[in-house]
C-alpha cells in the first residue's frame, strides 16, 4: 500500500472534523440570529434584510440567502457522506456494537451512539427546512416566519432543535477530546471539563431555541387571522 493510500482514512477523518466544526459554528450563529425575535420584531426584520444584502446594496436580494443555503447544504452533504463510513452497516456490525457498548459501559460510547442516532434524524429533517429557506428566501421575516412556525413547522423545528443541538455539542466534545491537551493535567480532568462544557452549551442553546420557537408561535397565533401579512418596518410606520 502506498503512503498516500495509507494516509487516506486520516485525511477523511480530518475533513469530517473540519466540516463538522464549520457546521456547529454555523448552527450557533444561526440560533443567535434567529433568536433576534426575542429582542423585537424590528430586530429580526433587520437581521433578515441584512442577509439579503439590503444594507450593502440599498435593496434586498433574497437570492443571496438561497446561495448561502445551497452552500450549507453542500457542506452537510459532504459531512454526511464522510460520516456514513462510521455507521454500522449490517445487523452483525450493529449487534457487535451493542455487545461492546454493554461491556464497556462508558459514557463516551453511549454518546457516540446518540451522535449516530441524531445524525440519522438530521439526514431527513434538515433538508425539509433547508428546501423551504432555499425556495422562498423572500418569506423570511418576523411575520412570515411566525406564520410558518405557527401553521405548519413547529413540530419539525422542535425535533430538529434537539437533534441538531445534541449532535453538534457531542461532535465538538469528541473533536476536543481528540485534539485538545491540558499540559501537566490528567486526561480525566480534561474529559470532565469538556463534558460540563458540552452539557452547558446544549442546555443554553436548547433553552434559547425553545424560547425563540415559543416567541414565533405566539406571534403567529396573534396574526393568524391576517394571512399573508408582512411586517411593516419602523421606517415605513414613522418615516
| Closest residue to ligand HEM using C-beta atoms | 145
Sign of CA dihedral 214, 219, 223, 228: negative
Is 23 buried (19+), middle (13-18) or exposed (0-12) by CB count in 10 A?
A: buried
Using the minimum distance from each CB to ligand HEM, give the nearer residue, 15 or 130.
130
Query: Is 34 near ligand HEM (CB under 6 A)?
Result: yes
Task: With contacts defined by CB under 6 A, name the span among 83-91, 106-114, 173-181, 205-213 that binds ligand HEM.
Answer: 205-213
Q: Determine which residue in the list 24, 72, 83, 147 makes contact with ligand HEM, applying CB under 6 A.
A: 72
C-alpha dihedral (83, 16, 188, 116), degrees to nearest 10: -20
Do residues 129 and 87 touch, judged by C-beta distance below 8 A? no
Do residues 212 and 35 touch, judged by C-beta distance below 8 A? yes
State yes or no: 167 annotated in a binding site.
yes
Query: Is 145 near ligand HEM (CB under 6 A)?
Result: yes
Q: Determine which residue in the list 149, 172, 194, 219 makes contact with ligand HEM, applying CB under 6 A.
A: 149
Do residues 208 and 161 touch, judged by C-beta distance below 8 A? no
Query: How crowded is residue 19: how many other Cβ atoms within 10 Å of its Cβ?
Result: 20
Measured from the CB of residue 11, what is the shortest distance to ligand HEM in angstroms? Answer: 25
Measured from the CB of residue 228, what is the shortest distance to ligand HEM in angstroms? Answer: 15
State yes or no: 129 annotated in a binding site.
yes
Do residues 191 and 107 touch, judged by C-beta distance below 8 A? no
Query: Is 166 near ligand HEM (CB under 6 A)?
Result: no
Written as nine digits, the cell of 201 is: 452549551
Binding residue positions for heme b: 30, 79, 129, 167
Binding residue positions: 30, 79, 129, 167
Which residues bind to ligand HEM, rule: CB under 6 A?
Answer: 30, 34, 65, 68-69, 72, 122, 126, 129-130, 133, 140, 145, 148-149, 153, 157, 160-161, 164, 209, 212-213, 216
Amino acid at each position: 500500500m502506498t503512503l498516500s493510500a495509507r494516509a487516506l482514512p486520516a485525511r477523511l477523518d480530518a475533513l469530517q472534523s473540519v466540516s463538522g466544526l464549520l457546521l456547529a459554528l454555523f448552527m450557533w450563529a444561526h440560533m443567535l440570529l434567529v433568536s433576534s425575535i426575542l429582542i423585537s420584531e424590528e430586530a429580526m426584520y433587520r437581521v433578515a434584510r441584512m442577509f439579503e444584502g439590503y444594507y450593502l446594496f440599498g435593496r434586498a436580494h433574497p437570492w443571496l440567502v438561497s446561495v448561502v443555503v445551497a452552500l450549507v447544504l453542500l457542506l452537510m452533504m459532504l459531512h454526511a457522506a464522510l460520516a456514513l463510513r462510521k455507521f454500522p452497516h449490517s445487523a452483525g456490525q450493529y449487534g457487535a456494537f451493542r455487545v461492546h457498548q454493554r461491556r464497556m459501559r462508558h459514557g463516551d460510547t453511549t454518546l457516540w451512539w446518540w451522535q449516530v442516532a441524531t445524525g440519522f434524524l438530521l439526514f431527513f429533517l434538515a433538508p425539509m427546512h433547508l428546501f423551504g429557506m432555499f425556495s422562498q428566501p423572500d418569506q423570511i421575516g418576523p411575520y412570515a416566519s411566525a406564520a410558518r412556525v405557527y401553521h405548519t413547522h413547529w413540530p419539525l423545528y422542535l425535533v430538529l432543535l434537539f437533534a441538531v443541538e445534541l449532535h453538534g455539542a457531542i461532535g465538538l466534545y469528541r473533536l476536543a477530546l481528540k485534539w485538545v491537551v491540558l499540559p501537566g493535567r490528567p486526561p480525566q480532568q480534561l474529559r470532565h471539563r469538556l463534558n460540563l462544557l458540552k452539557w452547558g452549551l446544549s442546555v443554553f442553546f436548547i433553552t434559547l431555541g425553545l424560547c425563540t420557537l415559543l416567541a414565533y408561535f405566539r406571534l403567529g397565533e396573534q396574526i393568524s387571522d391576517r394571512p399573508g401579512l408582512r411586517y411593516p418596518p419602523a421606517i415605513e410606520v414613522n418615516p
